[in-house]
Structure 1
Amino acid sequence: MKLSRNDIDFLTRCGLEAALAATQYISSKTNQAHATELKSGTAELASQIVTEIDLESQRLILEQLAESIQKFDLGLLTEESPDDGSRFTKEYFWCIDPLDGTLPFTERRAGYAVSIALIDRKGQPIIGIVVDPFHMETYQAVKGQGFLINGMPLKFHSEQKEDLVCHFDRSFVQSTVYASTIKALESMSHSLGYKDLQIRTGAGAVMNALGLLDVEAGCYFKFPKPYPGGGCIWDFAATSLIYEELGLHVSDIYGKQLALNRKGSPYMNESGIIYATDNELSQQIVDLHRSILDQ
């Protein structure tokens, strides 16, 4: 089954309505205390935390998407449910992160989002939708149709060499290679002509990527790890399409296309990721990773 333009338009509206329904619910719970539980499967605190808000947000999204799943025989991959393998047998599947950045949400600060993507069986995102409940901003991309923020077109451009902004997950600060990575980034930023290096941490993966749309030049990357972690398919599905539609760079740490329907675990720890505002910067990060490995 190949989706028509009308089908994609319909599914985009479905995804947007689902994301907004979840956002409305999340926003109503922002200033409340929430009981948290820890999930197994990863050593990173940010990936372990789950609240009743995550679960209810997912329920609302699935309720909104139920008609589209039945009508188009879609598969499903969501953060808060077991992977049922339908993404390998259906032509397309919804990929859902009902509350990315649960940790900043529980701390009542910016950095969390609702993320929904439609992906084909080959791992190519077709629709990408993100809503930031903290700032009430909506990001929307459809393959080949460009990008909208709050319903308006945006063309990203970076012509001035101001500061280089690097986003990291909070867990990376405790990494054994953090200090050497920062030192290498400082040297790299100066060699590329940037005035200074800014390091920002604390957001979830989705807003770490989208936060770079507000800077002149920036990157967000994650090195490969030998254990589960490093984000999952649902962390990168929507934002990777947004970057593609804006003409920005997104890849794994080796410069190859992200595998967004990989076999086995949905974790991306084996490949790592790179989001960057230009190709020169992304290549420098690929080289930086190689140099870290050689140390």
Structure 2
Amino acid sequence: MLNLNEIMSLTRPIAWGAGDILMKYYQEPQDLEITFKGGEEGNVTSADLAANDFILSQLKQTFGTDNFAYLSEETEDNIDRLDHEWVWIIDPMDGTSDFIRRTNEFAVHIGLTYRQRPVLGLVATPAQDRLFQGILGNGAYIETRDGLQQPIRVSNKIALTEMVVVASRSHRNYQLENILHQLPKAAEIAVGSIGGKFAAIASGHADVYISVSGKSAPKDWDYCAPEIILTEAGGQLTHSDLSLLSYNNLELRQWGTIVASNGHCHREICQISQEAIAPIMK
């Protein structure tokens, strides 16, 4: 396997640079162009596209295309990626709707998979000037602009009644509402991007996240980078049947009920989720 620490050291500046591009547009909203992509795809902005071009050009210049394939939300898919063991999976801006609404809750996702599982991930939260990162077997860290890194860890809460659920403000459906109603919890907070939600769990500020697909579903680039940060911080991410997520398949959507947690009650949360929506799905 390639040296993941070396890859991370080369990728960190790219994540910071993409965040800087987003903040330039965020601070000068008069320059922001917004286009509706159609269907369930939502909006894309000139900030998304500028960050996407920067990330892809920098990654390809640094790592080439012989050993690595590239999959990004804002670039047409090339299924030649299916022939590669190493695939970069990128969301240049997770939380575009929050960016447009100016909630400060958007993120850059840069993940690297090996044989369909994430091994390295970076989630930049530009409005907070923070960079979360994780490497398989090497832990998870938060980095500030001065380069100072501190390890992060999930909370040690072991009772569901103590746990804080982090959820979306907008991507909610009846099935998810039913699960959240039946799930014992201490509180529920709203965070915009999936990267921000997973960072909150990975750093101990929240404990549970649940997604239930409807007409559409989150895609590889939503979960890839955040997953390795969460799991390296001690958390878990699975489908509600406890199976792991698989990346770089022909189908990019992650269908079904997906649960992220601090790991201490993960099986119980998955069981509650399945039981809560079973009558609805019949």
Report if TM-score (shorter chain) is over 0.5: yes
TM-score bucket of the superposed structures, by smaller chain: 0.7 to 0.9
Determine the structure 2 residue equivalent to 1:260.
247
Q: 1:278 to 1:73 in 2, by over 3 A?
A: closer
| 1:236 paired to 2:229 | no
Give the drift of 1:153: 2.0
Q: 1:21 to 1:256 in 2, by over 3 A?
A: same
Moved runs in structure 1, 4+ residues, more than 3 A?
159-163, 213-217
- Give CA deviations for 1:93-137 in whole Å, capped at 9, x if unaligned: 1111101101111122222011101111x2111211111101111
Match of 1:59 among 53, 58, 61: 53
Return the letter of the residue paired with 2:208. C
8 Å Cα contact 1:117/1:129 also seen in 2: yes
Which segment drifts farther, 123-132 or 64-73?
64-73
Give the drift of 1:19: 0.8
Percent identity over the alignment is: 21
Q: Which runs of 5+ in 2 are unaligned?
A: 144-148
Task: Indicate the SS of the match to 1:134.
Answer: helix
Which segment drifts farther, 11-20 or 130-139?
11-20
Determine the structure 2 residue equivalent to 1:166.
165
Match of 2:263 among 254, 259, 278: 278
Q: 1:105 to 1:90 in 2, by over 3 A?
A: same
Match of 1:24 among 13, 20, 26: 20
Q: 1:255 to 1:79 in 2, by over 3 A?
A: same
Determine the structure 2 residue equivalent to 1:79.
73
Q: What TM-score results when the alignment is normalised by the length of structure 2?
A: 0.87
Q: 1:179 to 1:291 in 2, by over 3 A?
A: closer
Match of 1:14 among 10, 13, 16: 10
Which segment drifts farther, 164-173 or 145-154?
164-173
8 Å Cα contact 1:11/1:68 also seen in 2: no
Q: 1:67 to 1:168 in 2, by over 3 A?
A: same
| 1:36 paired to 2:31 | no
Match of 1:124 among 117, 129, 140: 117
Match of 1:291 among 270, 273, 276: 276
Return the letter of the residue paired with 2:252. P
Equivalent-residue separation in structure 1 for 2:249 and 2:7 (angstroms): 23
Equivalent-residue separation in structure 1 for 2:244 and 2:158 (angstroms): 28
Give the drift of 1:35: 2.7
Task: Indicate the SS of the match to 2:276.
Answer: helix
Determine the structure 2 residue equivalent to 1:204.
193
| Count of aligned positions | 272
8 Å Cα contact 2:220/2:248 also seen in 1: yes
Determine the structure 2 residue equivalent to 1:250.
237
Equivalent-residue separation in structure 1 for 2:155 and 2:207 (angstroms): 12
Task: Indicate the SS of the match to 2:26.
Answer: coil
- Give CA deviations for 1:231-259 in whole Å, capped at 9, x if unaligned: 11011101111122122111123211011
Q: What TM-score results when the alignment is normalised by the length of structure 1?
A: 0.84
Equivalent-residue separation in structure 2 for 1:208 and 1:217 (angstroms): 8
Equivalent-residue separation in structure 2 for 1:160 and 1:143 (angstroms): 24
- Give CA deviations for 1:211-269 in whole Å, capped at 9, x if unaligned: 223546521111133x3x22110111011111221221111232110112223x3111x
Q: 1:170 to 1:86 in 2, by over 3 A?
A: farther
8 Å Cα contact 1:249/1:282 also seen in 2: no
Equivalent-residue separation in structure 2 for 1:141 and 1:179 (angstroms): 31
